Chain A
Amino acid sequence: MMDLLQRLGVTSLSMLERLGRGSVFFLNILLSIPSVLVRPRLLFAQMYSVGVLSFSLIVISGLFVGMVLALQGFYTLSDFGAEGMLGVMVAASLVRELGPVVAALLFAGRAGSALTAEIGLMKATEQLSGMEMMAVDPVARIIAPRFLAGLLSMPLLATLFSAIGVLGGYFIGVGLLGIDEGGYWSQMQAKIDFSEDILNGLIKSVVFGLVVTWIAVFEGYDAIPTSEGVSRATTQTVVHSAFAVLLLDFILTALMFGDN
């Protein structure tokens, strides 16, 4: 019994410790962002590996999510004779929820895990301490460009996901199920509000990008420098990102759309 209590205490203390270290780390990253802006080439290289390489995954997933939404929505809406609302349904669910959330989950799996593994391995092979020896700040040189790249890529990827999804819904709805083309777009334009829906979705994706990249770079930086430690850190990146994204999504949705 005492043993259990003791372990509980140790676990919660170490969790708090990690949270504290993560927050200090986050502040450190923010402070070294100006040094990245001086050398944008570092950022470009990371935008490539974080953003461009996630591109095909996001496009293909977005297309299929939009197509499934249209197919499923059609069967429900046709019961009420409201097939004309299909465009609204597809666009609203993509722009408000699925675009930012699914893109963030895919992003955590595709780019976040790669970031953690890369940084963790750098730590395990003592490249990070080597940099410190040469008076190069690893946070400014390695972490901050990756963080900034993730922060910038995520909203772009989420927007792309929603846009491709709407087009996928269009192919299925108008092409396959024979919904009126004008109705698909005009109902959508009448119901989707720019500031209410699109900007809020964009804010969500910025928040998710920040959190997912933060978790990814911190897990890598804080990993136990062994091969097992790196593999655990990579797993934890995906798990923690998924939790954080879904929890934050609930909070943000309640704040943004709770009043109507």
Chain B
Amino acid sequence: MYISRSIEILVGLFVAVGFVALFFLSMQVSNLSSINGDSGYNIKGHFSNIGSLKVRAPVSMAGVNIGRVTAIEFDTQSFEAIVTMTIESQYNGLPSDSSASILTAGLLGEQYVGLEAGGEDESLKEGSKLELTQSALVLEQIIGQFLFSSGSKEEN
């Protein structure tokens, strides 16, 4: 069977275009370009309620993404959730008394961890524990409290 050179070139082109498409999908469509290895340090925070926070949710400070949630565990002693966050190593000067709160992006958006800088000179290191944490707002509880308080006002 004789195979002309142009067929080989076309097949080569086809394979090349296929790989360009894969490259496009991984770089432009997926998050591959924003993952830079495992370079970073882990910090932990204990929350009494994490709402619907998921692993891989962003960790942000002043609105800038500085890391990701890498693990969520349940502490059987204190009955709290332990959230492990990996902070990119370029942000290594965060004060050790920074506080973490679980916030929601928009009204229906995903939950993420927002860090608030403290005033301590010491900075957070691998394995540090965040002392000040604020749980996720659970909508049902807020509505419940609102109804309860408006009900007690009418009684007075």
Chain A positions within 8 Å of B, measured between CB atoms, are: 41-42, 44-45, 47-48, 51-52, 55, 80, 82, 91, 95, 153, 155-157, 159-160, 162-164, 166, 185, 188-190, 192-194, 197-198, 202
B10 touches A159 (CB 8 A): no
Inter-subunit contact B29/A189 (CB<8 Å): yes
- Are the C-beta atoms of A44 and B3 separated by less than 8 Å? yes
Q: Which chain A positions have C-beta within 8 A of B15?
A: 47, 156
Mostly, the A contact residues are helix
The answer to whether B21 and A162 touch across the interface, beta carbons within 8 angstroms, is yes
Is B26's beta carbon under 8 Å from chain A? yes
Q: Report Cα–Cα, A41/B1, bound state, in Å.
A: 9
Write the chain B residue with the least CB distance to A164: B21
Q: Which residues of B contact A194 (CB under 8 A)?
A: 26, 30-32, 35
Q: Apart from A45-B7, A95-B29, A192-B31, what 6 extra A-B contacts exist at CB < 8 Å?
A: A41-B1, A52-B7, A52-B11, A55-B14, A153-B14, A189-B28
Size of interface on B: residues with Cβ below 8 Å to A: 28
**Which chain A residues border B90 with CB–CB below 8 Å?**
none
CA distance A185 to B31 in the complex (A): 11
Measured CB to CB, the closest approach of chain A to B83, in angstroms, equals 18
Q: CA A32 – CA B78 in complex, angstroms?
A: 62
Interface contact B17-A197, CB-CB below 8 Å:
no
Chain A: CB-nearest residue to B65 = A190
Within 8 A of A (CB), among B1-49: 1, 3, 7-8, 10-11, 13-15, 17-19, 21-22, 24-26, 28-35
